[in-house]
Structure 1
Amino acid sequence: MTITEVRCHRLTAPLHTPFVTALRRTEHLETTVVEVLDDDGRPGYGEAPQVWRVTGESLAGAEACLSGPLADVVVGRSVDDLEDLTREVQDAVVGNFGAKAAMDVALHDLAARCGGLTLVQLLGGEAGTNRIATDVTLSAGEPDELGAAAAKRFAEGFTVLKLKVGTDATTDVARVRAVREAAPQAAIRVDANQGWTPDEAIRVIRALEDAGLGVEFVEQPVERYDIDGLAEVTAAVETSVMADESVFSLRDLRAIIDRRAADLVNVKLAKCGGLGVARQLLEQARAAGMGTIVGSMMEGPIGVGAAAALVAAVGTTQVSDLDAFWWARESPVVGGASYDGGFIVLPDAAGLGIEGLSG
């Protein structure tokens, strides 16, 4: 079971609806898939999405990292050494978290396939744990557009709605009100994607509270490096505040905990570098009394399937944010995870259950 080859593939899939946040607008899923093969021809898959405004990584950069220094680490080795291999992948390069996450997931996928286990089982979860609740994102837009989208998504079975705001603080309350009126029974969470100043965040969140709109939490209200501003917002409002772009590493999370800068954290594989680090982040946050979710960053079924397997194995305190490839018009892979209303469904097959790449 020696790893003999590392291959990289670029996948692009059109979205059925434009994905719009305070940071970006995209109409395509763009990702680098890494395929790790052993000497019996078994593959393991992982992926690194291109998200310029969050991780700064490109498809070309991920491919260079995966086919260069990360391939040098794994070729000629066995996934029997999974713990050592994944640690060496983390240490092989600085940054490049998406590429590291792709290789890390591919190694876990291959190890699970070799052992005849689902990825959930490999991560310590129980067999048959394969339905994971997810929210669905409502792209930034005008109130009437958001209201219509909220009603449609709720009717489709999504009971947790994540509303993208932060594009215009003066009208964000109207946006949330429109969603609440359109989907009165839904849980609503708000994501500003760094779009507010601390003063704007406090003003908008207090207005949401005064309006009684029942917001579950507000995600990343201020610029990612402004930990003091994040702490200021958290201390000034009653609504829970979540850190997302502010937390890539364990050191980042420790800074948030020490400053009491947020109440919850959103852990994403492409930000932190893989399943092992993600698990440590969840455990560290839980030990500090913070709430947790696992998120996704416009990955396909490979990255989202791995994130969902982590949730199935270790759990989170809130419904996670795993709707990324729901936006794709069609799956770029054969097999793997799928959606059933507000749930992501993991296959019972070994590993991630990916049979191959489409086309």
Structure 2
Amino acid sequence: MNIGQVTVSPLDLPLREPFEISLGTQHHANNLLVTVETENATGYGEGSPLTPVTGETQEAALATARAAVELLEGKNIADYRELVSEVRTTFPGMVSALFAVETAIVDAYCRERGVPLSELFGGSPDPVTTDLTIPILPPDEAADRATRAVEEGFDHLKVKTGTTVERDVARVESVHEGAPNAELAVDANQGWSPKETIQFAAELESRGIDCSLIEQPVPADDVVGLARTRDAVSIPVAADETVFTPEDAIRVVREDAADILNVKLGKSGLLAAQDIASIAEAANVELMVGCMLESAIGIHASAHLVSGIGSFSHVDLDGNRLLADDVVATNREPTIDIGGPGHGITPSR
């Protein structure tokens, strides 16, 4: 059960199409892959750094993961909680690198035990259904993308916003016209002020467009503004970039700043994500799960968390469906079929 070799390498994955949000445009997912080997198993973990969100470049994340190797080699994989805690204490804030390292550790442990990752969170590896994200596009292109998504089987769509209220309303209206029966959510990625968010919600209401949630409308550090926005709009408000840690989740709950907490493993990692979920459940706050532009490795790890905990109301795990090529053969349908042992993904590239 002792850890033998740990390897760290870049994992560069081109996207099917450019992916624009209010924080910038990506053409590639510049990720990292961590492999943890024991005598009888190999675990895989992935991180997807995005500087405006995680504060890391790919180079910095790779350097952190490589520096963590000496903390792991020779250690007993059964002590995975202690190992994860030591790595996170040693390299605070390097969330993408730590997500990759932590996932590889926990995946190797589960594969040694022959159990699916979901069992660590209390459930069996049942299929998970995701939405699909429409990036920032001109209205006609957004409508075409929405129509295509419905044809592929998606009935929940998330529309990226956070530019100007006028442009964002036009985009959401076009998506609604292209997919009139789909449930719509919007994600501003910190792009609005409270005033703009209130204006946006009023414009949607005047057009008779229903919206299931507004995700992170204001800057991540503006918890007061987030709470003000939540009080002023009837659409549920989700906290995403505001919540990286369980402590962040406690602050949002105490300040009544959001209706929904977005648990994203690329921010918190696996074990802390379980703590955030417990906080949300105790406070009667809804749970959402999100992702970065991750391959099946990161997406399936998140899907195991969802399946194991079983209380997520909103699932946004479409990252690998936006890639030109995944690390394994992947369907582009809404259903994520997961298995084991571990998260069940052994990359072929």
TM-score range relative to shorter protein:
over 0.9
Map of 2:51 onto structure 1? 52
Q: Among 114, 117, 136, which residue is 1:116 paired with?
A: 114
CA distance in 2, matches of 1:203, 1:349: 46
Map of 1:352 onto structure 2? 343
Q: Does 1:280 align with 2:275?
A: yes
SS in 2 for 1:141: coil
Contact 2:306 2:312 in 1 (8 A): no
SS in 1 for 2:200: helix
Q: Deviations over 1:233-256 (max 9, x none)?
A: 110011101111111111211111
Contact 1:136 1:158 in 2 (8 A): yes
**What amino acid is the match of 2:55?**
G
Map of 2:105 onto structure 1? 107
TM-score (norm 1): 0.93
CA distance in 1, matches of 2:254, 2:54: 24
Map of 2:287 onto structure 1? 292
Q: Does 1:159 align with 2:155?
A: yes
CA distance in 2, matches of 1:356, 1:25: 26
Map of 1:182 onto structure 2? 178
1:188 CA drift (Å): 0.2
Alignment RMSD (CA, Å): 1.5
Contact 2:146 2:179 in 1 (8 A): yes
1:118 CA drift (Å): 1.6
1:39 CA drift (Å): 3.3
Q: Among 137, 146, 149, which residue is 2:145 paired with?
A: 149
* Superposed counterparts of 1:1-359, under 5 Å: 1-40=1-40, 42-68=41-67, 70-126=68-124, 129-272=125-268, 274-331=269-326, 333-334=327-328, 338-339=330-331, 341-346=333-338, 348-358=339-349
SS in 1 for 2:184: strand
Contact 1:196 1:223 in 2 (8 A): yes
CA distance in 1, matches of 2:70, 2:323: 33
Contact 1:109 1:351 in 2 (8 A): yes
Percent of aligned pairs sharing the same letter: 36
Contact 2:117 2:340 in 1 (8 A): no
Structure 2 gaps, min length 5: none
The structure carrying a bigger strand percent of its residues is 1
CA distance in 2, matches of 1:254, 1:316: 18
CA distance in 1, matches of 2:63, 2:26: 24
1:340 CA drift (Å): 5.3
Q: Deviations over 1:87-133 (max 9, x none)?
A: 2222222211111111111111101110111222343212xx33101
1:206 CA drift (Å): 1.7
Q: Deviations over 1:287-330 (max 9, x none)?
A: 11111111101111111110011001002332311000111111
Q: Deviations over 1:70-97 (max 9, x none)?
A: 2232211111112222222222222111
CA distance in 2, matches of 1:179, 1:325: 22
**Structure 1 residues 121 and 251: CA distance shift in structure 2, 3 A:** closer
Moved more, 230-239 or 203-212: 203-212
**What amino acid is the match of 1:29?**
A
Q: Deviations over 1:198-220 (max 9, x none)?
A: 11111111221232201001001
CA distance in 1, matches of 2:39, 2:179: 53
CA distance in 2, matches of 1:149, 1:340: 14
1:355 CA drift (Å): 2.8
1:349 CA drift (Å): 3.6
Structure 1 gaps, min length 5: none
SS in 1 for 2:316: coil
1:267 CA drift (Å): 0.9
Contact 2:49 2:56 in 1 (8 A): yes
1:357 CA drift (Å): 4.1
Contact 1:234 1:261 in 2 (8 A): yes
Q: How many residues align?
A: 349
Runs of 4+ in 1 over 3 A off after TM superposition: none
